[in-house]
Each structure stands twice: as structure tokens, then as C-alpha cells.
Amino acid sequence: MTDAPEHPPRAHDATEEQAFEEQLRSCGLQVTAQRLAIMQAVTASPHATAEELTEIVRNEIGSISRQAVYDTLGALADNRLIRRIQPTGSPARFEDRVGDNHHHLVCRGCGLIFDIDCAVGSTPCLDAKADHGFEIDEAEVVYWGRCPDCQG
């Protein structure tokens, strides 16, 4: 198990919590304190691993099993309330930025991840000439490199 960064409990925004409740209900998911805490943790810590999110949620609401976190992350991702990404060589990470087909920039040294907006203009590598009859609705691009700290 890796050491999760310390995350102090943060004040909850009533509007944010109400939005999370509505999102859960719209997918037919029951609103629970655990689900709300996990959604809040994903929002507060984009690109966090399940282990990191488990620690954040435990600091927020107390006891929660690792399996409950994994199950909830799976249900939220299946319902497209959050997005699961897994850059090569990295554990799965989770974010709440969904539905906009953005991409990611990953540091090969420290694993730092940034969101990158979808390419605009000419993007020949994203135009699948041989789509084999698929109706393509998403492209996943990961940019790799070294962040300024890892370059030195």
C-alpha cells in the first residue's frame, strides 16, 4: 500500500452535495454518505488512485472498507459520473471531468497528470479511416513526457 497524501477535511458546499445527490438519483443509484464522500473526494483530488481516495474518505467520514470504495468507484464509472483512466504502468485513477473527450499529459518520472483539452484543427491521428463499422464516440490520447521537476 502506498502512502496517501494528507488531505484535511474540507468544508462541503451544499450546492455541490445537492448536485451529487441529483446525479446519483438520475442514474438510479441510492444516495449514501459513502457515495457522496467518494464523489467529493474525486472532485477534490482529480487523478487520485483508489487507495488515495480511500484514505481521503476515511479522513472525512471515518471507517469505509477498501472494497466499498472500489465498488462505488466502479458503479460511478459505469454510470459515467466519474471517469476511470489508467496510464500504462500506473494504477487506475479517477476524475470527475466526464463527457468532454479530454486527454492527459503524464510525467514519466513522478506520474504527475494534467488534463489536456481535446486537439482542435487538423487531427489526422484521431480520424479513424478504417473504423471497421464502429460508431466512434471517444478517442483516448495520452501525452507522455517529463515535468519540469523531473527534467532536472
- For the chain, domains (ranges, CATH) are 14-85 (1.10.10.10), 100-151 (3.30.1490.190)
pLDDT average, residue stretch 67-75: 97
User: Interhelix angle for 50-61 vs 66-78, to 10°?
Assistant: 110
- What's the pLDDT score for residue 124? 67
- What's the pLDDT score for residue 14? 79
pLDDT tops 90 at residue 24: yes
Per the model's pLDDT, the better-predicted residue between 15 and 72 turns out to be: 72
DSSP 28-87: TPPP-HHHHHHHHHHHHSTTEEHHHHHHHHHHHHS---HHHHHHHHHHHHHTTSSEEE--
Per the model's pLDDT, the better-predicted residue between 29 and 8 turns out to be: 29
Lowest mean pLDDT among 36-50, 51-65, 122-136: 122-136
Instruction: Report the distance separating Cα 35 and Cα 24, nearest Å.
Output: 9
DSSP 73-130: HHHHHHTTSSEEE--TTS--EEES--SS--EEEEETTT--EEEEPPP-S--GGGS-S-
- What's the pLDDT score for residue 8? 40
Q: Which residues contact residue 84 at a Cβ distance below 8 angstroms, ignoring those fewer than 6 apart?
A: 73, 77, 92, 93, 94
Provide, rounded to the nearest whole percent, the portion of the chain with pLDDT above 90.
Answer: 64
- What's the pLDDT score for residue 12? 57
Instruction: Report the distance separating Cα 80 and Cα 77, nearest Å.
Output: 5
What is the value of pTM for the model shown?
0.80
- What's the pLDDT score for residue 141? 85
Q: Are 70 and 50 in contact (CB under 8 A)?
A: yes
- What's the pLDDT score for residue 152? 84
- What's the pLDDT score for residue 4? 38
Q: Which residues contact residue 112 at a Cβ distance below 8 angstroms, ignoring those fewer than 6 apart?
A: 106, 147
Provide, rounded to the nearest whole percent, the portion of the chain with pLDDT above 70.
Answer: 89
pLDDT tops 70 at residue 3: no
pLDDT tops 80 at residue 136: no
